[in-house]
Structure 1
């Protein structure tokens, strides 16, 4: 059984729910801030002209756009379930050769069965 499987990269994982929520709130707040600026420009920019109507239209349409963008989820697609089984081929075990004790080395045995 020599199947090769691609391992998903960490960067391909979807955003965490908390990070996605923070991103949505930030996007909504920025859009509503732009709406407040449009209201201010509509009132304070003199003389009134065609741009006043552009600011008024933007101030009227931006709440809808803000809500749609805030409710839009991430574009992550549903992926199939992956097997939790580890499929890495094991290398053959190498049995180390016994080490002979050199003279002058003191070995301390803590349990009687270690003295063999």
Structure 2
């Protein structure tokens, strides 16, 4: 695992697997539709020739390609992660193209507070004092 000095931001994380399922299912179903189309074209187009063999080979090998491509997640196919750090200005008051387009980048960093001080005792006039 990569060791980094800062925590990952929300924009640098890959898509969640549950969000990737829809795209993978659609890709699989489209490839299976192309396979059915290859079967139909293999039978319908006459006279039979070299393209009949191409349609037949596509109908045979497309299920393997469809399953493999559906099982490969988004991260393995492309590693496109956005890193907001380059868009931040080097100096807080520096003008950048982001400021000109009315887009602001807000960076929040958390730090530990020093040891909290106990609250000072208050004198309550209604509370009776110690017995003398």
**Same fold, TM-score > 0.5, yes or no:** yes
Query: TM-score, normalising length from structure 1?
Result: 0.57
Number of residues paired by the alignment? 78
1:17-96 to structure 2, matched below 5 A, reads: 17-75=17-75, 86-87=109-110
CA shift, 1:87, in A, is 3.2
Larger radius of gyration: 1
- Once the two structures are superposed, what CA deviation does each residue of 1:29-59 show, in whole Å capped at 9, x if it has no partner? 0110110110111011111100000000000
Could you tell me which residue of structure 2 aligns to residue 94 of structure 1? none
**Deviation of residue 70 (structure 1)?**
1.0
Q: CA RMSD in A?
A: 2.5
Post-superposition offset of 1:7: 6.8
Question: CA offsets per residue over residues 6-36 of structure 1, 9 Å max, x none?
Answer: 6755432211222211111111001101101
C-alpha displacement at 1:75, in angstroms?
2.0
TM-score using structure 2 length: 0.50
Q: Counterpart of 2:11?
A: 11
- Tell me, which stretches of 5 or more residues in structure 2 are unaligned? 80-108, 112-132
Where in structure 1 are there 5+ consecutive unaligned residues? 78-85, 89-116
What stretches of structure 1 move > 6 A for 4+ residues in a row?
none
